[in-house]
Amino acid sequence: MTLQRSQIPDVLTTAIDSFWPAGPSDRDRVACVTLIRNLSECGQCSAGEIVVLSRDATSMADVEAIIRALAGRRASAVLVPDAPFDPSDRERLRTLSQEHDLTIGLLGAHVDPILAANTLIRAHATSPAGQRRQTFQEVESLQHLAEMLGRLIGNSVTIESPNHELLAFSTISGPVDRPREETILRRAARSEALKWVVRAGYVNQVRRSDRPVRVPPNPDLDFSGRVAMRVAAEGETLAIIWATDTARPLTAEDEISLEQAAAAAATILNRQRETSRRRAQLVAELLDDVVQGRITSPEGIRSLAQNLGWNTDRRQQAMVVEIDSLEDLRLRYAENSGQKLQKVRDRLTEIVQLETLAVDPDAIIGPRSTGVIVLFAQSQDDSDARKATAQRLGDAIVQRVPALIPEMTVTIGIGREFATLLHTPESVRQAELAARLGVSLWGGNRATHYSDLGIHRALFALQEHEEMITPALQRLLDYDERHDSECVRTLAIYLECMGRLRVAAEQLNIHRNTLEYRIRRIEEVAGVSLEEPTNRLALELGIRVLELRRATEKAG
């Protein structure tokens, strides 16, 4: 049985001279036992503690000040050594107990407070809750935690991400249902039972609760029921612990163990997240230094990369994940000194990690100001297969992001593979160009491979050259502006249709004779003949460059 404050007289027996228990409250649960000497040490105490005062606090004024401080910190009980207190002092202690809903005990004159504290500490440590809390605090991994919790409650346990990816699981204890088996085999919960649990609102209930939530069985789906406990930090759900109760029914003590395990899991996940974030940031900074040419020595890059776990000798390719409408995102999450924005950025990096590591467990993933940058490799021998896999990875991230981060979409660019470290900047620039053109030409929210850009790569390089807008094309642009006509649009469709008048007329939704008239007028205004192939090529390239320039300016 878990040690509670009401059990103090039973544990200390004749050591308690007087005992004033407060009414029932959430402070019945004992977190730990502490010995303190004076008022200044009250700051070290926390909710649920049994506090034993040493003999340094002898005056009634000192004791009262300590009791008030501990009541404010929601201590479970205070045990006071029997100083020369008169009956009025004892009555004052009784009144304080009632005023602050705080159990106060007066130790006998013959009792050493240190001995009393040690006795209570041993009693707490040997109680199930005391043992479990101490054990959970020593756990270093989620897998170890799941196994330990499974043994303590005598049932099967899984720890899953908020999106139901399997993070850890215990050895099967007793009979388990099919959904539990599928979760372990698939490394994620994807059964019809999960869909039912979500539809019925139990998952939302778990995410809002600070206590374990019981999910009833559903025999039609071969679901035996669960007890679920969320793992949370600062209001954010980091994971969910799911425990079966088929081997034996879970008790109130087991639910306390679930709460304690959830607290330990939150510590582990926060530690992992911070370690991962620091490493990703360092990798991203090194990668940016390489791309920008601030570090150029192959030996130096290789040495720095190896210290960060970056294998520079693999054949790799770059992928950039760019946040669409970045300015709107910054404004939307600007409050709290940017903390919300940072959380959203971290979440994006986590999503990219989950998808990418399934393709390449050794991938390099790091945050950047506009999104995330990735270096990854593949095992396929066929180059077309590698390209297809890279495209599927990009498409998966594009689809996953808005599903998990409301009101966010991303555009992804994928560069070509490179065989050596020296080609890293080139692949990154290719990926950045693919992402930029993905936004400019197609509106973003898509994944684009550099090799699929075709002529747009050349057009992008040419768009800054003013001579690409030939005098003939400029005359048409000026004419359209003065007369509110559509010479340039008509010419663009005519050239796109390779001079086929009937097809072009249908696209323009005009009669063929009307199109013939317009073409003659275009030749007059431009001062060139469209019968000449070089004239058609110059005009078409100019129009394409002009369209790309306008799209780029609009996207920017």
- 462-475: per-residue pLDDT in tens? 555 555 677 777 88
Which pLDDT belongs to residue 180? 75
Has residue 74 got a pLDDT over 90?
A: no
- N-to-C CA span, the chain: 66
* 34-53 residue pLDDT tens: 788 888 878 767 677 888 88
147-153: Cβ within 8 A, 24+ apart: 147/171, 148/261, 149/241, 149/243, 149/257, 149/258, 149/261, 150/243, 152/128, 152/254, 152/257, 153/243, 153/250, 153/254, 153/257, 153/258
Which pLDDT belongs to residue 398? 94
* 531-544 residue pLDDT tens: 888 777 777 777 77
Higher-pLDDT residue of 175, 149: 149
CA distance 325 to 408: 8
Nearest to 30 by CA among 104, 130, 134: 130
Which pLDDT belongs to residue 282? 83
CA atoms within 13 A on the CB side of 140: 0
Higher-pLDDT residue of 381, 10: 10
Task: Please count the other Cβ atoms lying within 10 Å of the Cβ belonging to residue 390.
Answer: 23
Confidence of residue 322 (pLDDT cuts 50, 70, 90): very high
In the three-class reduction of DSSP (H, G, I as helix; E, B as strand; rest coil), residue 198 is classed as helix
What torsion do the CA atoms of 268, 271, 277, 282 make, to the nearest 10 degrees?
Answer: -130
Indicate the helix (H) or strand (E) that contains 458. helix 455-462
Which pLDDT belongs to residue 126? 58
Which pLDDT belongs to residue 1? 39
CA distance 60 to 267: 41
* 175-207 residue pLDDT tens: 677 777 776 666 666 678 888 989 999 999 999
CA atoms within 13 A on the CB side of 2: 19
Quick one: what percent of the chain has pLDDT higher than 70? 87
Ranges 17-26, 29-38, 90-99, 119-128: which has the least confidence:
119-128
Which pLDDT belongs to residue 417? 86
Q: Are 463 and 519 in contact (CB under 8 A)?
A: no
| Mean pLDDT, residues 499-503 | 86
Nearest to 527 by CA among 476, 451, 466: 476
| Mean pLDDT, residues 209-233 | 90
Strand order in the sheet with 16-20: 16-20, 103-107, 77-80, 49-53, 32-36
Reading the block at residue 20, the tokens are: 């004033």
Nearest to 205 by CA among 180, 222, 230, 183: 230
CA distance 308 to 304: 7
Mean pLDDT across the chain: 82
* 424-440 residue pLDDT tens: 888 888 898 888 888 87
Reading the block at residue 473, the tokens are: 């094309």
Report phi then psi at 21, rounded to 5.
Answer: -75, 140
Placement of tokens 């930029």 in the chain: 436
| Mean pLDDT, residues 239-243 | 93
Q: Kindly report the length of the chain.
A: 556
Confidence of residue 338 (pLDDT cuts 50, 70, 90): confident
Which pLDDT belongs to residue 109? 82
Ranges 212-221, 260-269, 281-290: which has the least confidence:
281-290
Q: pTM, whole model, 2 decimals?
A: 0.49
Has residue 125 got a pLDDT over 60?
A: no
Has residue 278 got a pLDDT over 70?
A: yes
Task: Please count the other Cβ atoms lying within 10 Å of the Cβ belonging to residue 1.
Answer: 8
| Mean pLDDT, residues 77-87 | 85
Higher-pLDDT residue of 5, 497: 497
Has residue 553 got a pLDDT over 80?
A: no
Has residue 214 got a pLDDT over 90?
A: yes
Antiparallel, parallel or unpaired: β 77-80 and 364-368? unpaired
Task: Please count the other Cβ atoms lying within 10 Å of the Cβ belonging to residue 64.
Answer: 15
**Domains of the chain, earliest start first:** 5-126 (3.40.1390.20), 133-271 (3.30.450.40), 295-452 (3.30.70.270), 462-555 (1.10.10.2840)
